Structure 1
Amino acid sequence: MIGRLPLDEQLTVLKSLLARNELLLEVMNRAVTLDLPDWYVTAGCLFQTVWNVVTDRPPTSGIKDYDVFYFDDRDLSWEAEDAVIKAADEAFAGLPAEVEVRNEARVHLWYEQKFGVPCAPHASTEAAIDSFAATTCCLGVRLEPGGRWRVYAPHGLSDVFNLVVRPNPVLAPREVYEAKTARWRQQWPELTVLGWPSASTARMPSSS
């Protein structure tokens, strides 16, 4: 099983599987041209590409959109983010998929209104990725000078390869996790979806 390979070999396999999604590669290549600070292509377009390849589906099957996160706390106005979004609309024009570009330095300004729980300001794009509803989602990839891939995977890659979805109860509420996993199960019935932990077993932030 891929998930039992040493980590360096898992990274090699991850790159080869993601490369099967030519649309994903084009999004990554065009994202480079935007020169966004601390950017990553992240979330569903990554782990769902892996799920598709390992279950013999077309690489783009069921992928709703392609998320590009960046972090710029120099100007937290909507106008500054909107200017980046408009530039991104031009950069990604013509692609047969929706590409959503968002500044993760601004998440705390709208998160509670949308999801009903407060969100402390993120300190980086990586910190934003850490807060996804499932640990399996906590994955980001970008291209760096020379074509090197930078991969951020704080919970490793084994669950991604093994089609295991594990809750990450650090920010997103239970209903967000359960809504997402219900939708994913319809598209990928092979998934093993772990239940949301009870209040007594939920992982609490470290006090150290």
Structure 2
Amino acid sequence: MTDLEARLEAIVRADPDLMTVLEGVRAEGVNDWLIFSGAVYQSVWNHLTGRPPGHGVKDFDVGYFDDDYGWDAEDAVIRRVAARFEEPLKSRVEVRNQRRVSEWFPQKFGQDWPPVAETAEALTRFVAPAFAVGVRLEADDRLTVAAPFGLDDVFAMVIRPNPTRPIAADWDRVIEKLVARWPELKVEQGG
């Protein structure tokens, strides 16, 4: 485990809502799952800026992978996980089969999204390296960290476009919202 992974683990474990969601998803036995995106990187930013856990975190994105990627199968997992939580967390946990994303992403966002072979592979396609961080609470309480671009950008509070994909169509809107909540962010426009 690297120093940044150890720091991330301490931050995650100190966030009560994030830990509740990690424990709940783990209890459901979802296949190849990670909690990723805002719930993770924004927890780091809150810690670094002295904001309370949960500041600015609108949801908990749970990705999982299953070759049965029909809507009915995904909906069953969404409902099963949702039943694990009470409000206000229940409506903030968003579960998606990463194998199924390729079915709707091009129509919704106008960009290609070939199928992935595992949940962690989806992180390589996120719009910014800082966003591409996922965590999973294992059965033995270890925390697995998936971060294909590393954790440097997250801890440096740097947002830059993912160098391996086109800039997202809504890049400016995403950045504007984040900078409004964390004005300390450093935005780099180039890859």
Band the TM-score falls in, shorter-chain normalisation = over 0.9
Task: Return the alpha-carbon distance in structure 2 between the equivalents of residues 109 and 84 of structure 1.
Answer: 17
The 8 Å contact of residues 174 and 196 in structure 1, kept in 2 or not, is answered as no
Task: Return the alpha-carbon distance in structure 2 between the equivalents of residues 49 and 42 of structure 1.
Answer: 11
The 8 Å contact of residues 161 and 167 in structure 2, kept in 1 or not, is answered as no
Alignment of 1:159-174 (within 5 A): 159-171=153-165, 173-174=167-168
Task: Return the alpha-carbon distance in structure 2 between the equivalents of residues 170 and 139 of structure 1.
Answer: 16
- Counterpart of 2:84 in structure 1 is 91
- Counterpart of 2:70 in structure 1 is 77
Q: Percent identity?
A: 39
- Structure 2 residue aligned with 1:107, among 101, 115, 118? 101
Residue aligned with 2:5, SS: helix
Kindly report the root-mean-square deviation, in angstroms, between the aligned alpha carbons of the 2 structures: 1.5
The 8 Å contact of residues 139 and 151 in structure 1, kept in 2 or not, is answered as yes
Instruction: Find out whether 1:194 has 2:176 as its counterpart.
Output: no
The 8 Å contact of residues 109 and 169 in structure 2, kept in 1 or not, is answered as no
Give the direction of change, closer, same or farther, for the CA distance of 1:14–1:103 in structure 2 (3 Å limit): same
The 8 Å contact of residues 43 and 67 in structure 1, kept in 2 or not, is answered as yes
Shift of 1:178: 2.2
- Counterpart of 1:144 in structure 2 is 138
Q: What runs of 5+ residues in structure 1 fail to find an aligned partner?
A: 1-6, 198-208
Task: Return the alpha-carbon distance in structure 1 between the equivalents of residues 66 and 46 of structure 2.
Answer: 33
- Structure 2 residue aligned with 1:67, among 61, 68, 73? 61
TM-score between the two structures when normalised by the length of structure 2: 0.94
Give the direction of change, closer, same or farther, for the CA distance of 1:134–1:159 in structure 2 (3 Å limit): same
Q: What runs of 5+ residues in structure 2 fail to find an aligned partner?
A: none
Residue aligned with 2:44, SS: helix
The 8 Å contact of residues 115 and 173 in structure 1, kept in 2 or not, is answered as no
Shift of 1:175: 2.3
Instruction: Find out whether 1:54 has 2:48 as its counterpart.
Output: yes
TM-score between the two structures when normalised by the length of structure 1: 0.86
Shift of 1:170: 3.6
The 8 Å contact of residues 98 and 122 in structure 2, kept in 1 or not, is answered as yes
Number of paired residues?
A: 190
Partner AA of 2:20 in structure 1: E
List per-residue Cα deviations over 1:139-177 (Å, max 9, x = no partner).
Answer: 010011211111011111111111111211544643232
Shift of 1:92: 2.0
Task: Return the alpha-carbon distance in structure 1 between the equivalents of residues 22 and 179 of structure 2.
Answer: 27
- Structure 1 residue aligned with 2:152, among 158, 166, 169? 158
- Counterpart of 1:134 in structure 2 is 128
Give the structure with higher Rg (CA). Answer: 1
